[in-house]
Amino acid sequence: MSKAEYKSAIRSRKLIRQAFVELVQEKPVEKITVTDIVQRADINRGTFYAHYQDTRAVIEQIENEIIEKMFEFLGEFRYKNFFQNPLPLLENISNYLEEDLEFYRILINASGSEPFLLKLKRLFVQYMETDSDIPIEFKRSPAFIVRSNFFAGGLVNLYQVWFRGEMDCSLNEVSLEISKIIMNNAIPDLKV
Q: Which among 149, 105, 156, 103 is positioned nearest to 126, based on CA atoms?
A: 149
Per DSSP, the residues of 12-80 read HHHHHHHHHHHHHTTS-GGG--HHHHHHHHT--HHHHHHH-SSHHHHHHHHHHHHHHHHHHHHHT--HH
pLDDT of residue 103: 82
pLDDT of residue 40: 96
Last residue of a domain, one of 33, 52, 71: 52
Amino acid, single-letter form, for residue 37: I
Cα angle: 87, vertex 92, 94; to 5 degrees: 90
SS3 134: coil
Last residue of a domain, one of 52, 69, 85: 52
Residues 66 and 157 in one domain: yes
Q: Per-residue pLDDT tens for 44-64?
A: 999 999 999 999 899 888 888
CATH number, domain with residue 119: 1.10.357
Residues 141 and 93 in one domain: yes
Q: Per-residue pLDDT tens for 60-117?
A: 888 888 888 888 887 776 655 666 778 888 888 888 888 888 888 888 887 777 888 8
Q: Per-residue pLDDT tens for 28-39?
A: 888 999 999 999
Distance from the Cα of residue 170 to its chain's centroid = 18
Domains contained in the chain, number:
2
Residue, of 25 and 57, whose pLDDT is higher: 57
Residues 121 and 163 in one domain: yes
Task: Provide the whole-model pTM.
Answer: 0.72
pLDDT of residue 190: 47
Q: Which residues contact 39 (CB under 8 A, 6 or more apart)?
A: none
Q: What is the residue range of 66's domain?
A: 59-185
Cα angle: 120, vertex 26, 47; to 5 degrees: 80
pLDDT of residue 191: 45
Residues 36 and 107 in one domain: no
Q: Per-residue pLDDT tens for 146-192?
A: 888 888 898 889 989 998 899 999 989 999 998 888 777 655 444 44
Q: Which residues contact 15 (CB under 8 A, 6 or more apart)?
A: 41, 42, 43
Amino acid, single-letter form, for residue 114: E
Amino acid, single-letter form, for residue 75: G
Q: Flag whether 66 is in a domain.
A: yes
Q: How far apart are CA 189 and CA 49, in angstroms?
A: 53
